[in-house]
Amino acid sequence: MILIQLNKQDFEYDLHSLVKSFYPGEDVTVCYEEPENAGEALLKISVIYKEQEIAVRFEKDGQVVKEDTEAVEYEKNRKETKNHLKYRVYRMLSDYTGTTLPWGTLTGIRPTKIPMALLEQGMSNRDIADYMRKTYLISPAKTSLGISIANRERHILRDIDYDNGYSLYVGIPFCPSICLYCSFSSSPLSVWKKKVDDYLDALCKEIAYGAEIYKERQLDTVYIGGGTPTTLEPEQLDRLLTEIKRHFDLSKVQEFTVEAGRPDSITREKLEVIKKHPVTRISINPQTMNQKTLEIIGRRHTVEETKAAFLLARELGFDNINMDLIVGLPGEGKDEVEYTLQEIKKLDPDSVTVHSLAVKRAARLNMFKDQYKEMSFINNMEIMDMTEKACMSSGLFPYYLYRQKNMAGNLENVGYARPGKEGIYNILIMEEKQSILALGAGASTKRVWPEANEDGTHRIERCENVKDVASYISRIDEMIERKQKFFAEV
């Protein structure tokens, strides 16, 4: 156990995330009074906030091993205070453990927002790199990656109207089975099969309302995700896509994605339905091309089914197909990842998204972790460099990036794509520059104010739907009423 003791409640999440990055296998506890079991702590980190300074002290076995104090005008600039605190704690942890983190003190999920904001202020790439390394202690490799992606994002989003446009997300919360690592709002289709039509009834009602509330704005991108949208039967999928086309003006949409996802949910009939609608991009997600791993993580499809689904989509004329991979899956090391990359390269997708495994508390892999404690969960810079080289050798270049809590190797998720085949919605959701109308169970509508704050960020408000499928169906009028109040207020 690592103990973080504070004299007041402030910056707890940032400190917890930073310490956890150095000690991913340890329980990290934040407290405000010393607990009875403090003596059992591998390390105790005390942070004492004062009006004009912050003191940080490391103790082991009751003895002070490191101590540092920095003068900070605490309330004058809270962002600066947080940066100073994390910088100080990082330096002390790095010295104490003898290790460094590729992303330095950054613990948030959107590291490219920093170079993006600085680019928009007119700062040069060189000055941005210097600022990121000095302020956040980011490695040169990750600094370069973040800046290059921010520049590419700016180019891709050059025609997006942030102020008057919006994006649409539609959620289908059903999956053929629930993967071991998953914590999304998804439900096994076997449980809900008789309720899918009822769900679509409710969803179509929300679609009609959503289109009306934003009828004066321009729709830029559409993303149908989940869950697995292709768990719907062909006629159900056709009904959904027809309803979207009927209510929304798609004439200026730059991208329309359907996340086909699981190969075991894809059929010729479903792909033919998708093809007859104005869908421009789909995903077919293997996660791994190692059959043994697929069985461990609960994906009930074969490697051959993945290949067959991809080739079928190509046969039917889909020319923008993404494939998702996960690095750090149980039992997989460099050799297994390398094999997956070789098999994916043979298929030649238009984009590949490489995820570092992030296990959340709601995932079965975490809830039943004792069953998997003998398995390795490996990710490191060598593996991520290998994925980058493999993608770039196929003509796929990095275009978006984000991070998650508890990621294997404290690394990142990176999207690679051919020029012109990037996922625009992916960038918009990460950079938080545009409002997103989100419909369906568990969907979260995001309203972004056009006026920027002093630090370049934007005010954001959210309106969330209930996650439970049955509750969404029975309370659909309440979900619509929530949005009515939300949009009336903003």
Distance set, CA 122 to CA 80, 112, 256, 299 (Å): 21, 16, 32, 47
Cβ proximity of 334 and 382 under 8 Å: yes
Q: Which tens digit of pLDDT belongs to each residue from 445-480? A: 999 987 767 666 678 999 999 999 999 999 999 999
Q: What is the CA radius of gyration of the chain?
A: 23
Taking the C-alpha atoms of residue 300 and residue 245, their distance in angstroms, rounded to an integer, is: 33
Q: Determine the topology of domain 2-97 in CATH.
A: Double Stranded RNA Binding Domain (3.30.160)
Residue 363 confidence (pLDDT): 46
pTM over 0.85: yes
Provide the pLDDT for residue 455. 60
Locate tokens 């990142």: which residue?
412
Amino acid at 489: E
**The Cα angle at residue 244 between residues 242 and 247, in degrees rounded to 5:** 105
38-91 tens-digit pLDDT? 888 899 999 999 888 899 999 998 899 999 998 887 777 888 889 999 999 999
- CA-nearest of 403, 358, 341, 324 to 146 is 403
The Cα 172–Cα 441 span in angstroms is 8
Cα distance between residue 190 and residue 382, in whole Å: 40
* Closest by CA position to 279, among listed 307, 262, 255: 255
Which pLDDT score, from 0 to 100, does residue 362 have?
A: 40
> Which residues of the chain, if any, have pLDDT below 70?
177-190, 359-379, 406-409, 452, 454-457, 490
Distance, CA of 10 to CA of 15 (rounded, Å): 9
Fold category of 165-477 in CATH: pyruvate-formate lyase- activating enzyme (3.80.30)
> How do the domains of the chain map onto residue ranges?
2-97, 113-147, 165-477
Distance, in Å, from the CA atom of 50 to the CA atom of 29, rounded to the nearest integer, reads 22
Its sign, for the CA torsion 418, 423, 424, 430, is: negative
Spatial separation of the C-alpha atoms in residues 272 and 406, rounded to whole Å: 39
What pLDDT, on the 0 to 100 scale, is given for residue 73? 79
Q: What is the C-alpha to C-alpha distance for residues 271 and 144, in angstroms, rounded to an integer? A: 39
Quote the pLDDT of residue 4: 95
